[in-house]
Amino acid sequence: MDGKHVDWDKAQIHLLTHAFHYGTAVFEGIRCYKTDRGPAVFRLQDHMRRLHNSAHIMGMEVPYSQEVLEQAVVDTIRLNEVDECYIRPIVYLGYGKLGLNPVGCDINVGIAVFRWGSYLGEDGVKNGVRTKVSSFSRGNVNAILDSAKTSGNYVNSVLAKREAVLDGYDEAIMLSQEGFIAEATGENLFIARGKKISTAPGALVLEGYTRDTVMTMARDEGYQVREEIFTRDQLYVADEAWLTGTAAEVTPIREVDRRAIGTGKPGPMTQKFQKMYQEVVRGKSEKYSRWLTYLS
Protein backbone atom coordinates (compact mmCIF):
# COMPACT_ATOMS: atom_id res chain seq x y z
CA MET A 1 0.00 0.00 0.00
CA ASP A 2 1.52 3.31 -1.16
CA GLY A 3 4.96 1.78 -1.56
CA LYS A 4 5.05 -0.32 1.62
CA HIS A 5 4.46 -4.01 2.22
CA VAL A 6 1.60 -4.39 4.70
CA ASP A 7 0.42 -7.56 6.45
CA TRP A 8 -2.97 -8.86 5.28
CA ASP A 9 -4.72 -8.06 8.60
CA LYS A 10 -3.31 -4.52 8.66
CA ALA A 11 -4.30 -3.67 5.07
CA GLN A 12 -7.04 -1.27 6.19
CA ILE A 13 -8.42 2.10 5.12
CA HIS A 14 -10.37 4.80 6.97
CA LEU A 15 -14.19 4.82 7.08
CA LEU A 16 -14.24 8.25 5.44
CA THR A 17 -12.18 7.24 2.42
CA HIS A 18 -13.61 9.08 -0.61
CA ALA A 19 -13.64 5.98 -2.84
CA PHE A 20 -15.65 4.01 -0.27
CA HIS A 21 -18.47 6.58 -0.44
CA TYR A 22 -18.51 7.47 -4.13
CA GLY A 23 -16.85 4.62 -6.00
CA THR A 24 -13.93 6.85 -7.00
CA ALA A 25 -11.38 4.11 -7.52
CA VAL A 26 -10.01 2.35 -10.58
CA PHE A 27 -8.73 -1.20 -10.44
CA GLU A 28 -7.38 -4.15 -12.39
CA GLY A 29 -7.69 -7.90 -12.24
CA ILE A 30 -4.59 -9.82 -13.32
CA ARG A 31 -3.52 -13.43 -12.93
CA CYS A 32 -0.19 -15.05 -12.22
CA TYR A 33 0.19 -18.68 -13.35
CA LYS A 34 2.51 -21.51 -12.48
CA THR A 35 4.74 -22.48 -15.39
CA ASP A 36 7.73 -24.79 -15.88
CA ARG A 37 9.94 -21.71 -15.48
CA GLY A 38 8.31 -20.53 -12.26
CA PRO A 39 5.43 -18.09 -11.78
CA ALA A 40 4.53 -15.79 -14.69
CA VAL A 41 2.11 -12.85 -14.84
CA PHE A 42 -0.15 -12.73 -17.88
CA ARG A 43 -0.23 -9.47 -19.86
CA LEU A 44 1.10 -7.41 -16.96
CA GLN A 45 2.12 -4.37 -19.04
CA ASP A 46 -1.27 -4.27 -20.76
CA HIS A 47 -3.14 -4.35 -17.46
CA MET A 48 -0.96 -1.62 -15.97
CA ARG A 49 -1.48 0.55 -19.04
CA ARG A 50 -5.23 0.10 -18.69
CA LEU A 51 -5.03 0.99 -14.99
CA HIS A 52 -3.33 4.27 -15.94
CA ASN A 53 -5.87 4.83 -18.72
CA SER A 54 -8.78 4.23 -16.33
CA ALA A 55 -7.26 6.76 -13.93
CA HIS A 56 -6.76 9.19 -16.81
CA ILE A 57 -10.44 8.88 -17.76
CA MET A 58 -11.34 9.61 -14.14
CA GLY A 59 -8.98 12.60 -14.03
CA MET A 60 -6.81 10.92 -11.40
CA GLU A 61 -3.05 11.17 -11.57
CA VAL A 62 -1.47 7.88 -10.51
CA PRO A 63 1.47 8.72 -8.20
CA TYR A 64 3.57 5.85 -9.60
CA SER A 65 4.65 5.08 -13.15
CA GLN A 66 3.47 2.02 -15.02
CA GLU A 67 6.92 0.43 -14.66
CA VAL A 68 7.05 1.01 -10.90
CA LEU A 69 3.65 -0.63 -10.45
CA GLU A 70 4.66 -3.57 -12.66
CA GLN A 71 7.70 -4.09 -10.44
CA ALA A 72 5.51 -3.71 -7.33
CA VAL A 73 3.25 -6.53 -8.57
CA VAL A 74 6.27 -8.78 -9.12
CA ASP A 75 7.70 -7.89 -5.69
CA THR A 76 4.39 -8.52 -3.92
CA ILE A 77 4.02 -11.96 -5.50
CA ARG A 78 7.63 -12.86 -4.62
CA LEU A 79 7.20 -11.70 -1.03
CA ASN A 80 4.09 -13.83 -0.61
CA GLU A 81 5.87 -16.85 -2.10
CA VAL A 82 2.86 -17.95 -4.14
CA ASP A 83 3.20 -19.63 -7.52
CA GLU A 84 -0.35 -18.86 -8.69
CA CYS A 85 -2.55 -15.96 -7.68
CA TYR A 86 -5.06 -13.30 -8.61
CA ILE A 87 -3.68 -9.76 -8.47
CA ARG A 88 -5.85 -6.76 -7.63
CA PRO A 89 -4.18 -3.35 -8.01
CA ILE A 90 -6.40 -0.41 -7.03
CA VAL A 91 -5.91 3.36 -7.27
CA TYR A 92 -8.34 5.27 -5.08
CA LEU A 93 -9.24 8.68 -3.76
CA GLY A 94 -8.30 8.57 -0.12
CA TYR A 95 -9.06 10.11 3.21
CA GLY A 96 -9.16 13.84 3.93
CA LYS A 97 -11.95 15.39 1.87
CA LEU A 98 -15.49 14.09 1.66
CA GLY A 99 -17.05 16.55 -0.79
CA LEU A 100 -17.70 15.40 -4.32
CA ASN A 101 -15.01 17.68 -5.75
CA PRO A 102 -12.07 15.27 -6.11
CA VAL A 103 -9.49 18.02 -6.66
CA GLY A 104 -6.93 17.93 -3.88
CA CYS A 105 -7.93 14.50 -2.62
CA ASP A 106 -5.10 12.12 -1.75
CA ILE A 107 -4.61 9.41 -4.34
CA ASN A 108 -3.62 6.08 -2.84
CA VAL A 109 -2.49 2.86 -4.47
CA GLY A 110 -2.71 -0.70 -3.21
CA ILE A 111 -1.90 -4.10 -4.69
CA ALA A 112 -3.33 -7.29 -3.20
CA VAL A 113 -2.40 -10.82 -4.25
CA PHE A 114 -4.43 -13.82 -3.19
CA ARG A 115 -5.57 -17.23 -4.37
CA TRP A 116 -8.73 -17.27 -6.46
CA GLY A 117 -9.94 -20.42 -8.22
CA SER A 118 -12.24 -20.54 -11.24
CA TYR A 119 -14.56 -17.56 -10.97
CA LEU A 120 -17.64 -19.25 -12.42
CA GLY A 121 -16.90 -22.62 -10.80
CA GLU A 122 -15.19 -25.82 -11.94
CA ASP A 123 -18.49 -27.14 -13.28
CA GLY A 124 -19.02 -23.94 -15.30
CA VAL A 125 -15.59 -24.24 -16.93
CA LYS A 126 -16.20 -27.91 -17.78
CA ASN A 127 -19.87 -27.99 -18.73
CA GLY A 128 -20.77 -24.36 -19.38
CA VAL A 129 -22.74 -21.82 -17.37
CA ARG A 130 -26.45 -21.04 -17.31
CA THR A 131 -27.21 -17.37 -17.92
CA LYS A 132 -30.10 -14.97 -18.22
CA VAL A 133 -30.44 -11.63 -19.91
CA SER A 134 -30.54 -9.15 -17.07
CA SER A 135 -33.47 -6.86 -16.36
CA PHE A 136 -30.75 -4.23 -15.74
CA SER A 137 -29.09 -2.75 -18.82
CA ARG A 138 -25.67 -1.19 -19.21
CA GLY A 139 -25.54 2.58 -18.67
CA ASN A 140 -25.64 5.44 -21.10
CA VAL A 141 -22.23 5.66 -22.79
CA ASN A 142 -21.83 9.29 -21.88
CA ALA A 143 -22.76 8.78 -18.23
CA ILE A 144 -20.80 5.68 -17.28
CA LEU A 145 -17.60 5.84 -19.36
CA ASP A 146 -17.50 2.06 -19.52
CA SER A 147 -13.97 1.68 -20.84
CA ALA A 148 -12.57 2.66 -17.44
CA LYS A 149 -12.52 -0.06 -14.79
CA THR A 150 -13.99 2.30 -12.21
CA SER A 151 -15.33 0.88 -8.94
CA GLY A 152 -18.52 2.95 -9.11
CA ASN A 153 -19.44 1.39 -12.47
CA TYR A 154 -19.70 -2.01 -10.82
CA VAL A 155 -22.90 -1.21 -8.93
CA ASN A 156 -24.65 -1.96 -12.22
CA SER A 157 -22.87 -5.32 -12.47
CA VAL A 158 -23.58 -6.18 -8.83
CA LEU A 159 -27.32 -5.53 -9.31
CA ALA A 160 -27.37 -7.79 -12.35
CA LYS A 161 -25.23 -10.53 -10.78
CA ARG A 162 -27.35 -10.65 -7.64
CA GLU A 163 -30.57 -10.90 -9.63
CA ALA A 164 -29.18 -13.69 -11.83
CA VAL A 165 -27.81 -15.75 -8.95
CA LEU A 166 -30.97 -15.41 -6.83
CA ASP A 167 -32.97 -16.51 -9.87
CA GLY A 168 -30.85 -19.66 -10.06
CA TYR A 169 -28.43 -18.72 -12.86
CA ASP A 170 -24.65 -18.52 -12.85
CA GLU A 171 -24.25 -15.21 -14.66
CA ALA A 172 -26.17 -12.27 -16.12
CA ILE A 173 -25.92 -10.97 -19.67
CA MET A 174 -26.21 -7.22 -20.01
CA LEU A 175 -27.79 -5.40 -22.94
CA SER A 176 -26.67 -2.00 -24.15
CA GLN A 177 -29.02 0.99 -23.90
CA GLU A 178 -30.18 0.18 -27.44
CA GLY A 179 -30.89 -3.44 -26.50
CA PHE A 180 -27.94 -5.15 -28.17
CA ILE A 181 -25.85 -7.80 -26.43
CA ALA A 182 -23.02 -6.07 -24.60
CA GLU A 183 -21.26 -8.44 -22.19
CA ALA A 184 -21.68 -10.25 -18.88
CA THR A 185 -21.21 -8.57 -15.50
CA GLY A 186 -17.41 -8.85 -15.54
CA GLU A 187 -16.68 -10.82 -18.70
CA ASN A 188 -16.87 -10.21 -22.44
CA LEU A 189 -19.10 -12.41 -24.57
CA PHE A 190 -18.51 -14.17 -27.89
CA ILE A 191 -20.82 -16.04 -30.23
CA ALA A 192 -19.86 -18.35 -33.08
CA ARG A 193 -21.91 -19.17 -36.14
CA GLY A 194 -20.18 -21.50 -38.56
CA LYS A 195 -16.57 -20.29 -38.74
CA LYS A 196 -17.60 -16.72 -37.92
CA ILE A 197 -16.99 -15.34 -34.47
CA SER A 198 -18.59 -12.14 -33.17
CA THR A 199 -18.14 -10.02 -30.07
CA ALA A 200 -19.66 -6.64 -29.22
CA PRO A 201 -17.70 -3.58 -30.43
CA GLY A 202 -15.30 -1.89 -28.03
CA ALA A 203 -17.54 1.15 -27.75
CA LEU A 204 -20.22 -0.94 -25.99
CA VAL A 205 -18.07 -2.91 -23.56
CA LEU A 206 -14.96 -2.95 -21.47
CA GLU A 207 -12.33 -4.21 -23.92
CA GLY A 208 -10.91 -7.11 -21.97
CA TYR A 209 -7.44 -8.52 -22.53
CA THR A 210 -8.86 -12.03 -22.44
CA ARG A 211 -11.17 -10.89 -25.24
CA ASP A 212 -8.15 -9.58 -27.13
CA THR A 213 -6.21 -12.79 -26.45
CA VAL A 214 -9.02 -14.97 -27.84
CA MET A 215 -9.54 -12.65 -30.83
CA THR A 216 -5.81 -12.78 -31.64
CA MET A 217 -5.61 -16.57 -31.30
CA ALA A 218 -8.80 -17.09 -33.33
CA ARG A 219 -7.57 -14.86 -36.19
CA ASP A 220 -4.20 -16.64 -36.16
CA GLU A 221 -6.12 -19.92 -36.47
CA GLY A 222 -7.92 -18.64 -39.56
CA TYR A 223 -11.30 -17.80 -38.08
CA GLN A 224 -13.17 -14.70 -39.15
CA VAL A 225 -13.53 -12.54 -36.04
CA ARG A 226 -15.74 -9.49 -36.07
CA GLU A 227 -16.48 -6.78 -33.55
CA GLU A 228 -20.10 -6.14 -34.36
CA ILE A 229 -23.47 -5.44 -32.86
CA PHE A 230 -25.70 -8.49 -32.43
CA THR A 231 -29.02 -9.19 -30.81
CA ARG A 232 -30.48 -11.36 -28.11
CA ASP A 233 -32.15 -13.69 -30.63
CA GLN A 234 -28.87 -14.05 -32.55
CA LEU A 235 -27.32 -15.19 -29.27
CA TYR A 236 -30.15 -17.73 -28.76
CA VAL A 237 -29.43 -19.36 -32.13
CA ALA A 238 -25.62 -19.21 -32.01
CA ASP A 239 -23.78 -22.52 -32.49
CA GLU A 240 -21.59 -21.67 -29.53
CA ALA A 241 -21.19 -18.86 -27.01
CA TRP A 242 -18.57 -18.23 -24.37
CA LEU A 243 -17.39 -15.67 -21.84
CA THR A 244 -13.87 -14.29 -21.43
CA GLY A 245 -12.23 -12.50 -18.52
CA THR A 246 -9.11 -12.66 -16.38
CA ALA A 247 -11.12 -14.14 -13.51
CA ALA A 248 -13.42 -16.38 -15.63
CA GLU A 249 -10.76 -17.19 -18.28
CA VAL A 250 -12.71 -18.85 -21.13
CA THR A 251 -16.04 -20.20 -19.84
CA PRO A 252 -18.65 -21.81 -22.12
CA ILE A 253 -22.27 -20.62 -22.02
CA ARG A 254 -24.59 -23.60 -22.16
CA GLU A 255 -27.90 -21.81 -21.69
CA VAL A 256 -29.44 -18.35 -22.10
CA ASP A 257 -32.96 -17.62 -20.81
CA ARG A 258 -33.76 -21.36 -20.59
CA ARG A 259 -32.74 -21.95 -24.19
CA ALA A 260 -29.84 -24.30 -24.89
CA ILE A 261 -26.99 -22.79 -26.87
CA GLY A 262 -26.08 -25.19 -29.66
CA THR A 263 -26.14 -28.71 -28.25
CA GLY A 264 -26.28 -27.39 -24.67
CA LYS A 265 -22.69 -28.55 -24.17
CA PRO A 266 -19.40 -26.69 -24.70
CA GLY A 267 -18.78 -26.64 -28.46
CA PRO A 268 -15.54 -27.53 -30.29
CA MET A 269 -14.46 -23.90 -30.84
CA THR A 270 -15.04 -22.98 -27.21
CA GLN A 271 -13.05 -26.01 -26.08
CA LYS A 272 -10.27 -25.22 -28.52
CA PHE A 273 -9.91 -21.67 -27.18
CA GLN A 274 -10.14 -22.88 -23.58
CA LYS A 275 -7.27 -25.27 -24.23
CA MET A 276 -5.19 -22.72 -26.15
CA TYR A 277 -5.73 -20.10 -23.44
CA GLN A 278 -4.53 -22.49 -20.72
CA GLU A 279 -1.45 -23.35 -22.79
CA VAL A 280 -0.63 -19.69 -23.39
CA VAL A 281 -0.99 -18.54 -19.76
CA ARG A 282 0.97 -21.55 -18.50
CA GLY A 283 3.92 -20.81 -20.79
CA LYS A 284 3.37 -23.81 -23.07
CA SER A 285 3.05 -21.75 -26.24
CA GLU A 286 6.19 -20.25 -27.73
CA LYS A 287 4.11 -18.21 -30.17
CA TYR A 288 2.49 -16.06 -27.50
CA SER A 289 5.30 -16.00 -24.93
CA ARG A 290 5.46 -12.19 -25.38
CA TRP A 291 2.42 -11.94 -23.09
CA LEU A 292 4.16 -13.49 -20.05
CA THR A 293 6.30 -11.76 -17.42
CA TYR A 294 8.35 -14.37 -15.59
CA LEU A 295 9.22 -13.66 -11.97
CA SER A 296 12.66 -15.23 -12.18
Count helices and strands in the chain by DSSP H and E runs: 9, 15
With residue 269 as reference, give the H or E element that holds it: helix 268-281
Q: How far apart are CA 120 and CA 171, in angstroms?
A: 8
Q: How far apart are CA 53 and CA 236, in angstroms?
A: 35
Nearer to ligand PLP, 198 or 210 (CB): 210
Tell me whether residue 149 is one of the annotated catalytic residues.
Answer: yes
Of 235, 87, 207, 158, which Cα lies nearest the Cα of 79? 87
- Asked if residue 130 binds ligand PLP (CB under 6 A), the reply is no
Site for ligand PLP in 160-199 (CB under 6 A): 183, 186-188
Instruction: Name the 3-class secondary structure at 11.
Output: coil
Cβ within 8 Å of residue 65, ≥6 positions away: none
- Asked if residue 94 binds ligand PLP (CB under 6 A), the reply is no
Least Cβ distance, residue 174 to ligand PLP (angstroms) = 8
- Asked if residue 206 binds ligand PLP (CB under 6 A), the reply is yes
Site for ligand PLP in 29-48 (CB under 6 A): 29
Q: Which of 17, 198, 199, 210 binds ligand PLP (CB under 6 A)?
A: 210
How far, rounded to the nearest angstrom, does the alpha carbon of residue 258 sit from its chain's CA centroid? 25
Nearer to ligand PLP, 76 or 153 (CB): 153
Half-sphere exposure of 38 (CA within 13 A, CB side): 8
- Asked if residue 249 binds ligand PLP (CB under 6 A), the reply is no
Nearer to ligand PLP, 144 or 295 (CB): 144
Least Cβ distance, residue 97 to ligand PLP (angstroms) = 27
Catalytic residues: 149
Chain residues that interact with ligand PLP, rule: CB under 6 A: 29, 149, 183, 186-188, 206, 208-211, 244-246
